Amino acid sequence: MPVTTTTDRPLPTDPADPGRGFTARVTLGRVFTPVPSEFLLIASTALLLTVFGLVMVLSATMATSADSADGPFQTVLKQTMFAVVGIPLMFVFSRLPVLFWKRISWIALAGALGLQLLVFTPLGYSFDGNRNWISIGGVQAQPSEFLKLAFALWLAYVLYRKHTLLASWKHVFIPVVPVGVIVIGSVIAGRDLGTAMILVLILLGSLFFSGVKLRLFIIPAIAAAGVVAFLAISSPNRMARITSFLNPNCIDDYLDSCYQPLHGIWGLASGGVFGLGLGNSREKYAWLPAAAHDYIFSIVGEELGLIGCVLVLALFTLFAVGAFHIIRKTHDPFIRIAAGGITIWIVGQALINIGVVLRVFPVLGVPLPFMSQGGTSLVSVLMACGVLLAFARTLPTSQPVTAPTRR
């Protein structure tokens, strides 16, 4: 009787021999398939920015939460929990085929819009004047963050299906503009102008990367600028922030609308080149409002100096390079439009946030992607990175060139 050892490999099943059983084989070939450099660039920068953000959230919140009942680490532990959820989701999303993202676009938009409408039910509540939050079972979430990704995927699918008809304004208008008005209007109804502006950027970016003619592209851009201007003028709070931004002698309004912008720029400037040292910020001792939220870049500059700020900008630049390589190399219009919308969202939001800290823009209330405190924002951005990674997998990998064998 033959002896079988653990090192023996099962023989392939012979279909002509009914006495043999079926052999189950597990292959790891697809798992270890080489990935394009764009995949590695986007994944590595996303992970580094997330870890960097957790460190800065811990530093920015320890001073004000040290005396709380939950302890000084409660805020960063919550943020870490969302990172633990978002990072695996990013890599799970990276394994999904492009066909899945095309088929799910309508469902994703409907689901995200349904979540956004919950803010107007008893589940919703207001924060800093914006009714853009829901609370379910003690868990707070900002549905508009998921709406950004769903809107980018939906726009990409609709424009992809119509890519041969986009020379006509009617096909560009329907259904993009009506649905866009509903999506952006649901956020504006909650008085969140910052998020609405990001959604407008996603819309304009998707139209640009779809190849829409310039004359058709300018009309929605002018309309969007007009809506933003009207909303800014119609709100006394927003007008106060704009006038304080335009005021060359903002110190006169120190105790009112200029308080936060001034402390933000003072914290950034006091860091110098090398910073005061990690954990040594003075502004985070309740001087700077939203130190861990919208103004976390100011804490980076104060504690890590110009070097820390340049590092953050370099990481976002590398992220943008990887994303734009996907846009440039792909032959699929859906990938190009979706990747363009997501890239404009993440990179554009980062530039707006940093511009607010530098007083290049008035206070708009948008977080710094990956880094600002806020679990919903972190998870949604990591999910969007997962979609970019799925697109990156479709790009050809560079194979090493081997010399021909002489015979």
| Tens place of pLDDT per residue across the chain (407 aa) | 444 444 444 444 444 444 444 344 444 445 557 889 999 999 999 999 999 999 999 999 988 776 666 667 888 999 999 999 999 999 999 999 999 999 999 999 999 999 999 999 999 988 777 888 999 887 889 999 999 999 999 999 999 998 888 778 787 888 998 999 999 999 999 888 899 999 999 999 999 999 888 777 777 778 778 877 777 777 777 777 777 777 777 776 776 778 888 899 999 999 999 999 999 999 998 899 889 999 999 999 999 999 999 999 999 999 999 999 999 999 999 999 999 999 999 999 999 999 999 999 888 889 999 999 999 999 999 999 999 999 999 998 765 445 555 55
The residue written with tokens 């090493």 in the block is: 400
CA terminus-to-terminus distance, the chain: 47
Q: Of 209, 157, 202, 156, whose CA–CA distance to 346 is shortest?
A: 202
238 is in which domain, residue-wise?
A: 37-392
pLDDT of residue 314: 98
Instruction: Name the strand (E) or helix (H) holding 325.
Output: helix 296-329
Structure tokens at 45: 């920068």
For 345-371, give one letter per residue: b (16+ CB within 10 A) or e.
Answer: bbbbbbbbbbebbbbebbbbbbbbbbb
Give the C-alpha separation, 108 to 134, whole Å. Answer: 18
Asked if residue 23 belongs to a domain, the reply is no
Q: Of 36, 60, 108, 50, whose CA–CA distance to 80 is shortest?
A: 50
Q: Of 177, 175, 180, 164, whose CA–CA distance to 212 is shortest?
A: 164
> Sheet containing 130-136: which strands, arranged edge to edge?
124-127, 130-136, 139-141
Asked if residue 18 belongs to a domain, the reply is no
Asked if residue 55 belongs to a domain, the reply is yes
pLDDT of residue 70: 67
Give the C-alpha separation, 204 to 202, whole Å. Answer: 6
Instruction: Name the strand (E) or helix (H) holding 160.
Output: helix 143-161
Structure tokens at 260: 């936060």
pLDDT of residue 24: 41
31, amino acid identity: V
Asked if residue 12 belongs to a domain, the reply is no
CA distances from 249 to 31, 137, 188, 243, 370 (A): 59, 47, 31, 11, 33
The DSSP result for 18-81, as a single string, is: TTSPPPP----TTTT----HHHHHHHHHHHHHHHHHHHHHHHHHHHHHTTSTT-TTHHHHHHHH
Asked if residue 259 belongs to a domain, the reply is yes
- Name beta bridge partners: 133: 125
Give the C-alpha separation, 352 to 198, whole Å. Answer: 9
Q: Are strands 130-136 and 124-127 parallel, antiparallel or unpaired?
A: antiparallel
pLDDT of residue 354: 96
Give the C-alpha separation, 93 to 382, whole Å. Answer: 10
How many domains are there within the chain?
Answer: 1
242, amino acid identity: I
Asked if residue 322 belongs to a domain, the reply is yes
- Name beta bridge partners: 130: 127
Give the C-alpha separation, 358 to 110, whole Å. Answer: 37
Residue 190 burial (CB count, 10 A): 23
**Which of left, alpha, beta for 122 (phi over 0: left; psi -120 to 50: alpha)?**
alpha
For 173-182, give one letter per residue: b (16+ CB within 10 A) or e.
Answer: eeebeebbee
pLDDT of residue 69: 60
